[in-house]
Structure formats: C-alpha cells, structure tokens
Amino acid sequence: MRATPIELTPDPLATFRISPGFKVNGLLFLSGHAAISETGELIGIGDFDLQAEATFQSLQRTLHAGGSDLSRVVKVTIYLTDMGYFDRIVALREQWFSAPYPADTIVEVKALALPELMIEIEAIATAD
C-alpha cells in the first residue's frame, strides 16, 4: 500500500506543517479544511457564511488536486464552534454535495486551530 501526498501550489497548510491530504489505494484522506486562502490568509473573520463558502471551496480545490471532486466524497467530519449553525450546514450540504449524500459527523468544539475559525471540514473521497 502506497500513500501519495496531495500537492497544492501554493499550499496554505505548509506553514502549519500539515499535508492537505493523501491518496491511498484509490481513496483520498483530506486534512481538515478551513477558511484559509491559497496564500494562507483567513477569510471571513466573524462571518460564518463566508467562512463556510471558503471552506467548501478549499475542500473542492484539494479534491481536484487529488483526482476527485465533491461528488465522490463518501465521508465528512464537520467541526463547528457553535452548533447553532447546524441548519446552515444542512443547507450547505445540499448546495455542495448531491445524493446520495456523504456519511457525516458534525461536532461542536470549543475552538479550532486558529481562534477566528468557526468551521473546519475533513473528508474521505474516492479518486481515479
């Protein structure tokens, strides 16, 4: 079994010493993605909707780099700093994913890696 790192250029996670993800036997295992631009800047500080949009875009970018896309995601774990955003997450799942929807775990956490972050998503997807 061989694990191949997914490479992004530029890689916004490099400064944190985190790989965007790995491809292993036709599956992609993605690190948690958040509202961090390609150049490493935070997006949408204090605005959940902007952060969520940027997070899904980041996830999509990494999936494409690994030979996949959002339609091939089989499992997501979504971390929220406030479960009050649950209804928005349901709407976002409908916007960004399609049936059959991925398996999902949603967890409220006290904080994420950077104090301004409100959402983080990690995923597993199939790939070519």
**DSSP per-residue string spanning 72-98:** GEEEEEEEES-GGGHHHHHHHHHHH--
28 pLDDT above the threshold of 90: yes
pLDDT recorded at residue 69: 97
DSSP code of residue 36: B
pLDDT recorded at residue 2: 87
Q: Render pLDDT for 32-48 as a digit per residue (tens, 0 to 9).
A: 999 999 998 999 999 99
With 0.85 as the threshold, say if the pTM is over it. Answer: yes
Mean pLDDT of 58-77: 97
Percentage of the chain exceeding pLDDT 90: 91
Q: What is the CATH number of domain 3-126?
A: 3.30.1330.40
pLDDT recorded at residue 106: 97
The chain-wide mean pLDDT, for the chain, equals: 96
Mean pLDDT of 46-71: 97
Residues 30-51 as b/e (b if ≥16 CB within 10 A, e otherwise) read bbbbbbbeeeeeebbeeebeeb
94 pLDDT above the threshold of 90: yes
